[in-house]
Chain A
Amino acid sequence: MAAAVALLLVLVGAPLAMLAAQSVFIDGRLSLEAYAEVIGRSLYYQALLNTLIVGGGSAALAVLFGTPLAWAVARTDLPLRGVVRTVTTAAFVAPPFLLAVAWVILAAPNTGALNRLVTTIFGTERGPFNAYTLTTLTVVTALHTFPTVFLLAAAALESSDSSLEHAARLLGAGRWRTTLRITLPLVLPSILTGAILAFVTAIALFGSQAILGIPGRVYTLSTRVYQVLGYPPDYGVASALSMALVLLTVAALALQRRALGRRDVATIGGRGLASERIALGRWRAPALALCAGFLFVAVVLPYAALGAVSLTRAWTAGLVGANITLDNYAAILFRLELTQRAIGNSLLLATLTASATIALGVVIATIDLRTALRGRRLLDYLALMPLGLPGIVVGVAILELWLRLPINIYGTLLILLLAYTTRFIPLAVRAANVAIGQVDRSLEDAARIGGAGRWATQRRVTLPLVRSALLAGWVLVFVPTLGELSASVLLFTPDTITLAVAIFNFQDNGKVELVSALGVVLLVLASAVVLGARRIAGRPVLEMASAPPPA
């Protein structure tokens, strides 16, 4: 217990304390200069405003996209429901900055594929889309976060008691009236939770904000933090801006708690009483067309664009004749030592992070659920705290902490491992909590009575029972770690470069073709792990945990 608390303090408490300290100490003396500078400059207000618009707007859109989709899948006789669900969950696998790159390829004002399609067909001078606006950034962000709302809403719809709906129907309410007046209020808490998680995820999406925002001079808190850490770095202002991001996130999460009481709706959705599916009748085909159309634009189109560009010499020349090549893959897989190293580092780090956080998660969940130790709530609270920390903030905090400690781990994979562990421990703890919570205590008690020791009980009885749930948790940590950008971009060195940083770096260098190829490699690796885990667990792992991976 003490060891677990100490470890969490090092992982979570110390960086946070360092961040707070850095924001009020300038050159070793107490000063509010950094805050004064942040508050006194209109460009930071603009950044705050843009952050709120991206967060709030994309959360609203995520609800707008995710809820009807969830309802259609969970409560109607929509054809191909399984496919719709699979495609939506697949959107989880992709790191958000790849989606941003894809939308640059599709919607850059003059060269974007969609714009060129429009100008070719209609002979207009310019196409209608512009990748580099606040609106596009908001919409593309929503395309990354809507699966969160979808999964939470679908789980709630599937597990909510349908007897209330039956009652309403018996009392004469029509089908639509029942849906609006009974079903919707029942699942509203889940939708609200989804919206807030979408908001929290959105404001932390450094990669998308940099790729879609900066060219059009739309700056957010995250991109300003990154900018002030350029040459010469200003740690005071970076820390003060980071604190603003933390406050926003914590406020949103507090709002959620307040609105929902202490009820945690984000648990594995078990199937409740069999609820009657609504027959769509003649609306079946149009509904399917609508779902398919949306998922095509949200998921299929962007990744198809990445795939196509990865096969070209010059992406603007299109996927034709002599422009088609496998050379981009040859370059990143066989020729460029940097990308080979990045792939290796990311695979190693993702494996280590997923294993370490799940191990820690099991310990914490066991203490929380299976002991009566005092202070175990504190442990749980500490472990969930990083939910309130955007990735770039974790990066800043870890960087400041370890640059000032005499232990020299800057420039090693260890500092990245620490940052990732800090970032993703909440996912692991939550997954472990759910996994262990679902095991009936009486089984463990029986083993203990039968003479098995505490650890023997854990190993022989509990672990086998929770294995697939833990595997799901492992994947849930592995996937976002593999594509982690926000913290890595501050902590990497050329030796410890990761996949996401290599991609971001190529993007800076204007190498869209290499970016796409490396992105495809990342997607293939992530999908392989998800599918492999699915085979081992015997069921889809991503849907088993409804909390979204943070950005």
Chain B
Amino acid sequence: MRTLLAILVLLTSACGGSTAPAATATAAAGAVTSAAPSPVDMAAAKAEGTVSWYTSTPQDTAQKIADLFTAQTGIKVQVFRSGGEAVMTRFLTEQDAGRVAADVVTTSDTAPFNGLARDGKLLKFTPRGAEVVPASAKSADGTWISQRLNLVVPAYRTDKVTNPPTSWRDLADPRFKGQLVIADPGFTSIAYLVVHSLARDLGWDYWKKVAANATMIVQGHAQLATTIISGERAVAIEADFGQLYPDVQKGAPIKMVTPTEGVFLINSPMAIPAKAPHPNAAKAFLEFNLSKDVQDLFVTLGTYSPRTDFAAPKTYPELKSLKIIAVDYDAAERENKKTKDMFSETFK
């Protein structure tokens, strides 16, 4: 069954891959510079035989990547998937307890990775492919690199919303009362970064008004997507659009909003803990995530590739044409508890 799935994935990515060659012109902001790739000792990786991946990559995609990797290398992948903040909490608790079980960690909040890198808790590793990833999507010291770039925007049901929102600020309008849904910033990194940045730009008063619109709270962005696809709610405040994309491609009546203030483009850093139990398999797996197979998969599924030699997903604007709201990762890390307390207080 697993092999069958892997073949299917290969087929889909092969079809989707036809977009890649045309993509060489695409370039994200930022200069592309990189250290020479560190070699991966495949024999040692295969001897380790298994890699444990703590990730917030959407469940099905994560499983596909894992199965594909196993099919190509014979190395088993243990996938633990949860919300980014939940994944990071678990990893940090385990690290504090002196029991690191994760070989590769992926979430969508850069800040904790920078902190871990400062404390020397991450392995330095430059995978093949890093040379075409811009500086904005990797760390200068070679401790983390982005797996994908998530386009985060409001999204709505075209069959249920006649007067759709045009900006983030618009979502505070009472006309959306009872229609809104947001993911829990205590659970997912992406929601946290959006809440933090918009509180900075629009003030907490904005979130108070959004809360007053009887906004529903779900845990993660997968649940957020389900809530919109099933029609339980009509407007997603901050959809990780990749999670809606496959259904949209199949004709679901869902559209993204390109807000006047700009969109969020959120990195999903991957890193290897310094004390990872299977460091060689970890390197092989991390590098695999940047490979053509996996990046094709992401593009097919509606997520931008951090590699400049890949095209934008079909129907998406080119990366360089996006107006992007800047995320202040250092401030987000410093003000984490305060922001979440405010959110709890506002959405109680």
A interface residues with partner B (beta carbon < 8 Å):
41-43, 46, 108-111, 132, 214-217, 219, 227, 229-234, 316, 330, 334-338, 402-403, 408, 410-411, 493-495, 497, 505, 507-512
Contacts between chains A and B (CB distance < 8 A), count = 126
Q: Distance (Å) between the CB of B208 and the closest chain A CB?
A: 13
Residues of chain A contacted by B225 (CB below 8 angstroms): 510
Given that A110-B232, A111-B232, A234-B337 are contacting pairs, would A494 and B222 also be in contact in the complex, using a CB cutoff of 8 Å? no
Please name the residue on chain B nearest to A494 by beta carbon: B80
Residues of chain A contacted by B112 (CB below 8 angstroms): 231
B54 A336 Cβ-Cβ under 8 A? no
Please name the residue on chain A nearest to B5 by beta carbon: A335
Complex Cα distance, B343 from A527, in Å, reads: 42
Q: Distance (Å) between the CB of B95 and the closest chain A CB?
A: 11
Residues of chain A contacted by B88 (CB below 8 angstroms): 231
Interface positions of B from 186 to 212, Cβ below 8 Å from A: 186-187, 211
Shortest 5 CB-CB contacts between residues of A and residues of B: A494-B80, A510-B226, A510-B223, A410-B97, A508-B219
B54 A232 Cβ-Cβ under 8 A? no
B337 A494 Cβ-Cβ under 8 A? no
B interface residues with partner A (beta carbon < 8 Å):
1-2, 5, 52, 54, 58-59, 63, 76, 78-83, 85-86, 88-90, 92-94, 96-99, 101, 112, 184, 186-187, 211, 215-220, 222-227, 230-233, 336-337, 340, 344-345, 347-348
Residues of chain B contacted by A495 (CB below 8 angstroms): 78, 101
A230 B219 Cβ-Cβ under 8 A? no
Q: Distance (Å) between the CB of B346 and the closest chain A CB?
A: 10
B80 A338 Cβ-Cβ under 8 A? yes
- State which of B186, B222, B337 has its C-beta within 8 Å of the C-beta of A511: B222
- State which of B80, B98, B345 has its C-beta within 8 Å of the C-beta of A43: B345
- State which of B80, B86, B231, B345 has its C-beta within 8 Å of the C-beta of A231: B86
Residues of chain B contacted by A109 (CB below 8 angstroms): 232
Q: Distance (Å) between the CB of A485 and the closest chain B CB?
A: 15
Given that A43-B348, A230-B340, A494-B78 are contacting pairs, would A411 and B101 also be in contact in the complex, using a CB cutoff of 8 Å? yes
A232 B220 Cβ-Cβ under 8 A? no
B216 A337 Cβ-Cβ under 8 A? no
A334 B1 Cβ-Cβ under 8 A? yes
Residues of chain A contacted by B101 (CB below 8 angstroms): 411, 493-495
B99 A508 Cβ-Cβ under 8 A? no
A231 B89 Cβ-Cβ under 8 A? yes
B231 A230 Cβ-Cβ under 8 A? no
Residues of chain B contacted by A402 (CB below 8 angstroms): 97
- State which of A215, A229, A330 has its C-beta within 8 Å of the C-beta of B216: A215
A511 B59 Cβ-Cβ under 8 A? yes
Please name the residue on chain A nearest to B52 by beta carbon: A494
A-B contact pairs, 10 of them (CB 8 A): A110-B231, A227-B186, A229-B89, A231-B85, A231-B336, A338-B78, A494-B54, A494-B78, A508-B187, A510-B223
Residues of chain A contacted by B80 (CB below 8 angstroms): 338, 494, 497
B226 A403 Cβ-Cβ under 8 A? no
B345 A41 Cβ-Cβ under 8 A? yes
Given that A335-B2, A411-B101, A494-B52 are contacting pairs, would A510 and B220 also be in contact in the complex, using a CB cutoff of 8 Å? yes
Complex Cα distance, B220 from A507, in Å, reads: 10
Given that A43-B344, A227-B344, A403-B96 are contacting pairs, would A217 and B86 also be in contact in the complex, using a CB cutoff of 8 Å? no
Given that A408-B99, A510-B222 are contacting pairs, would A505 and B82 also be in contact in the complex, using a CB cutoff of 8 Å? yes
- State which of A233, A316, A508 has its C-beta within 8 Å of the C-beta of B223: A508
Complex Cα distance, B92 from A233, in Å, reads: 10
Complex Cα distance, B86 from A497, in Å, reads: 14
B1 A335 Cβ-Cβ under 8 A? yes
- State which of A43, A233, A509 has its C-beta within 8 Å of the C-beta of B59: A509
Complex Cα distance, B110 from A202, in Å, reads: 39
Complex Cα distance, B5 from A234, in Å, reads: 42
Complex Cα distance, B346 from A42, in Å, reads: 11
Please name the residue on chain A nearest to B2 by beta carbon: A335
